[in-house]
Amino acid sequence: MSVSVTNSLSIRLFYNHYSSVASGSTRKNSTTGTLSFADATALRNAVRNLQDYKFEDVTKDQIQEKLKAFTDTMNNTLESAAKYGKGNSSVKHAASTIKNLNTQYASDLAKIGITVNKDGSMSLYENAAKNYSVSKFSDFFDKDSQYLSDLYSAAKRITRKVDVRI
């Protein structure tokens, strides 16, 4: 899985203290443990951020950027967890849970412009925010979303099991 990450404000917000490993040479030079921890932490932040996001109050471009940051963070998490999971069954299982969630909710994700690929990673339609109504995004990323709740839990399991020294 090849991941192309957009360096956006949302990515930096999701990664927070770990924004330097979101992309670029610092990411390439980081340990697998650091990446797994940073990516899973960013995914947890993304979930919380999207649940609180006021889609009605922003432009379509801002929504597109937020969705791109979410899919990039998801793909980073799956990639780093797969590498780290080779030596840790708990992380491997949590990554598998995330992939299964993505597959389970693929039709719902497609309704907001996100495609779930065969490997569980995500792709975003180029004009997702322009092609779908704002209410679809608000409804999908609702605080009561089972998908987001389960996704947050799986990402939390990764952060609890990763040794950043590895």
**Tens-of-pLDDT digits for all 166 residues of the chain?**
444 445 588 999 999 999 989 888 899 999 999 999 999 999 999 999 999 999 999 999 999 999 999 999 999 999 999 999 998 999 999 999 999 999 999 999 999 999 999 999 999 999 999 999 999 999 999 999 999 999 999 999 999 999 887 5
Position 29 in a domain: yes
Q: Is residue 157 in a domain?
A: yes
Residue 21 lies in a domain: yes
| 15-52 residue pLDDT tens | 999 998 988 889 999 999 999 999 999 999 999 999 99
| DSSP per residue, 74-142 | HHHHHHHHHHHHTT-HHHHHHHHHHHHHHHHTHHHHHTTTEEEPTTS-EEE-TTHHHHS-HHHHHHHT-
Q: Tokens for 99, please give them.
A: 């992939």
Instruction: Tell me whether residue 52 is in a domain.
Output: yes
- Which residue segment(s) compose the domain that 88 sits in? 9-161
Residue 155 within any structural domain of the chain: yes
Q: Distances in Å between the alpha carbon of 152 and those of 43, 45, 59, 61, 135?
A: 7, 9, 26, 25, 22
Is residue 152 assigned to a domain?
yes
Structural domains counted in the chain: 1
Q: Does a structural domain hold residue 2? A: no
Could you tell me if residue 100 is inside a domain?
A: yes
In this prediction the pTM is 0.92
